[in-house]
Chains A and B, each alone.
Chain A
């Protein structure tokens, strides 16, 4: 459903993505692993139109989106869950979610649908229902992450871009988030591109993976194969090291 060919993205003079080609099939979870500064977030930002690529081709459901603005890309069905959640803390949980559906606000007939989608999000994250009226600023880290994912889902995306969803979370909470992500793919057949610092956990729920190194893709393969790849193990998994909850 998504096909990227030879994209090059720059920050000023800095060549952050070098000729990156990648694809996602419908319903897949694909994870992008790599060290800090490898260009993972840049790739997500290039896809969502925040930092458009300088050259290359991005086809989303056969439509070129490389030169579209971010809001147009959201309209086509790509939502990004940004690194660090980026929640509007002075607003309530409910209002934050509703903002995620701003695409549909003008159309009256969409009112019902927005409600339905919010219901779906509450079912996914029951804790958000409990905190519905609370200000987002009072939520814990895990709850904020759930809210951030929930807000992205409100736009009813076909493709969800997740940037470091487990960042700063306690292991058990992180595990819960990963389970929800796997469930989104399994039950709602949402296609997901997942950027994760915790490569092991990401590879466990992903179907396929790409390894990014200083702006270049150096490996592509089935997630299960990459878990066994020694180079990946050495560089990103920390040999024999497991998180407590993985044991």
Chain B
């Protein structure tokens, strides 16, 4: 089993903790000096960097939330002057404004190496052809995986999303050995291949790296048997770095968190209390090496648990369980993070009123589908048919612009959405993964 960075992936617990303490103390000094938000928060609570004498003292420090990031939109959380930032990405915010994250040159290099670790752990080598079917753009997924593959020395095919037939053609002709996509898209590819009569055995696929949305062991088995590859999970989020926070090794029993770069904690999402190792709760991450966008105790909203037991692969890094649930109402639709509030905002602003609505998420074939069911109000009802149709189109466009996903919008009769105690369940997730 090949390990990309043996020095950092196989440290003793003692060494990891010493390094984490040193780096965390330095991060505290740095954010206090350079980030107004942290300085204010710490000063208000009378926390000084010298209070951090062990990793247990982490608990004294308040969490950073998506709300904090929104309040500091766009550049308030940056710890370096903008001129030193060489890349800006963003991720979905809870409302109209996204969350902006930045990278220095060094950050990009560290990021590349972190992704190289998880790709190596999944079995990627310099001889591989890596087809990346994540969207290249403002989200971090495609670029992160791209850099990781390049760092290893593999050949990258930056396919981006969509155009399934072309993806399959390239897979056949270019002899792609590694597929990077969301697990849902992997299944969509498999399905299309079957329809086209492409035999997956005739492909050169060897490894698949899937992330961006929750997927089960059942889905893993299905992807592996239908695409004839070894499917691994990896984890990351833009606010923290993008992909490269954690990745599965060939044991496929939990994702190794790169603890020299991040400190993971598990908390009770209700009380915020830190839970003992092994307990299930919300993952909280602190970055240790990031220059432009350091995060101290960021609440990821992802529910998981940590396993400190030794792994057969030789890595000493803690493992997190696959993330299957969220602690908030965030939805992940085809790998894109969407908050119901974003959709509500878009709908209400187009309607100029507040029509009753319901979001229905289904898996059609392998792909997620989000349908916005809107009850016709008197105002909408009074519109001519053509105007009603253009209303639907405008809602679709606004949601797509604000949330970054395409949805279906359906108008239904007034009072036709089922109510429980007079209330509509706003989000109905019918997916079974």
Name A5's contact: one of B21, B49, B109 (CB within 8 Å): B21
Are A229 and B18 within 8 A (Cβ)?
A: no
Q: Distance (Å) between the CB of B330 and the closest chain A CB?
A: 33
- The 0/1 profile, CB within 8 Å of B marked 1, for residues 36-58 of chain A is 00000000000000000000000
With A219-B30, A229-B106: A19-B52 Cβ-Cβ less than 8 Å = yes
Residue of A nearest to B105 (CB): A228
Q: Distance (Å) between the CB of B17 and the closest chain A CB?
A: 10
Are A220 and B29 within 8 A (Cβ)?
A: no
- Quick one: which of B25, B84, B104, B289 has the most chain A CB within 10 A? B25
At the interface, is chain B mostly helix, strand, loop or mixed?
helix
Residue of A nearest to B24 (CB): A21
Query: In whole angstroms, how far apart are the Cα atoms of A59 and B134 in the complex?
Result: 48
Residues of chain B within 8 A of A23, CB atoms compared: 15, 18-19, 22
Q: Distance (Å) between the CB of A203 and the closest chain B CB?
A: 13
Q: Distance (Å) between the CB of A217 and the closest chain B CB?
A: 5
Residues of chain B within 8 A of A21, CB atoms compared: 18, 21-22, 25
Residue A134 is within 8 A (CB to CB) of chain B in the complex: no
Residue A225 is within 8 A (CB to CB) of chain B in the complex: yes
Name B26's contact: one of A220, A225, A230 (CB within 8 Å): A220
Residue of A nearest to B18 (CB): A23
Q: Distance (Å) between the CB of A187 and the closest chain B CB?
A: 21
- The 0/1 profile, CB within 8 Å of B marked 1, for residues 4-23 of chain A is 01101000000000110111
Are B33 and A218 within 8 A (Cβ)?
A: yes
Q: Distance (Å) between the CB of A53 and the closest chain B CB?
A: 13
Are B106 and A225 within 8 A (Cβ)?
A: yes
Residues of chain B within 8 A of A137, CB atoms compared: none
Interface residues on A, range: 20 to 34
Are A218 and B18 within 8 A (Cβ)?
A: no
Name B50's contact: one of A19, A219, A225 (CB within 8 Å): A19
Query: In whole angstroms, how far apart are the Cα atoms of A23 and B22 in the complex?
Result: 8
With A19-B53, A213-B29, A218-B26: A230-B19 Cβ-Cβ less than 8 Å = no
With A225-B106, A228-B105, A231-B80: A217-B53 Cβ-Cβ less than 8 Å = no
Residues of chain A within 8 A of B30, CB atoms compared: 218-219
Residue A216 is within 8 A (CB to CB) of chain B in the complex: yes
Residue of A nearest to B51 (CB): A19
- The 0/1 profile, CB within 8 Å of B marked 1, for residues 198-213 of chain A is 0000000000001001
Are B26 and A18 within 8 A (Cβ)?
A: no
Residue B302 is within 8 A (CB to CB) of chain A in the complex: no
Query: In whole angstroms, how far apart are the Cα atoms of A5 and B30 in the complex?
Result: 19
- The 0/1 profile, CB within 8 Å of A marked 1, for residues 27-69 of chain B is 0011001000000000000000110110000000000000000
Residue B9 is within 8 A (CB to CB) of chain A in the complex: no
With A221-B289, A231-B80: A5-B26 Cβ-Cβ less than 8 Å = no
With A21-B21, A230-B104: A6-B53 Cβ-Cβ less than 8 Å = yes
Are B50 and A217 within 8 A (Cβ)?
A: no
Residues of chain B within 8 A of A213, CB atoms compared: 29
Residue A3 is within 8 A (CB to CB) of chain B in the complex: yes
Residues of chain B within 8 A of A18, CB atoms compared: 49-50
Query: In whole angstroms, how far apart are the Cα atoms of A210 and B26 in the complex?
Result: 9
Query: In whole angstroms, how far apart are the Cα atoms of A225 and B288 in the complex?
Result: 14
Name A22's contact: one of B22, B29, B33 (CB within 8 Å): B22
Residues of chain A within 8 A of B106, CB atoms compared: 225, 228-229
Residues of chain B within 8 A of A210, CB atoms compared: 22
Residues of chain B within 8 A of A3, CB atoms compared: 18
- The 0/1 profile, CB within 8 Å of B marked 1, for residues 155-198 of chain A is 00000000000000000000000000000000000000000000
Query: In whole angstroms, how far apart are the Cα atoms of A217 and B15 in the complex?
Result: 18
Q: Report 25 cross-chain contacts, Cβ distance below 8 Å, ordered by A residue.
A: A5-B21, A5-B53, A6-B53, A19-B49, A19-B53, A21-B21, A210-B22, A216-B25, A216-B29, A217-B25, A218-B26, A218-B29, A218-B33, A219-B30, A220-B22, A220-B23, A220-B26, A221-B289, A225-B109, A228-B105, A228-B106, A228-B109, A229-B104, A230-B291, A231-B291
Contacts A19-B50, A21-B21, A231-B291 known; list 19 others, CB within 8 Å: A5-B18, A5-B21, A19-B49, A19-B52, A21-B18, A23-B15, A23-B19, A216-B29, A217-B22, A217-B29, A218-B26, A218-B30, A219-B26, A219-B30, A225-B106, A225-B109, A228-B106, A228-B109, A230-B84
User: B residues bordering A, Cβ < 8 Å?
Assistant: 15, 18-19, 21-23, 25-26, 29-30, 33, 49-50, 52-53, 80, 84, 104-106, 109-110, 289, 291
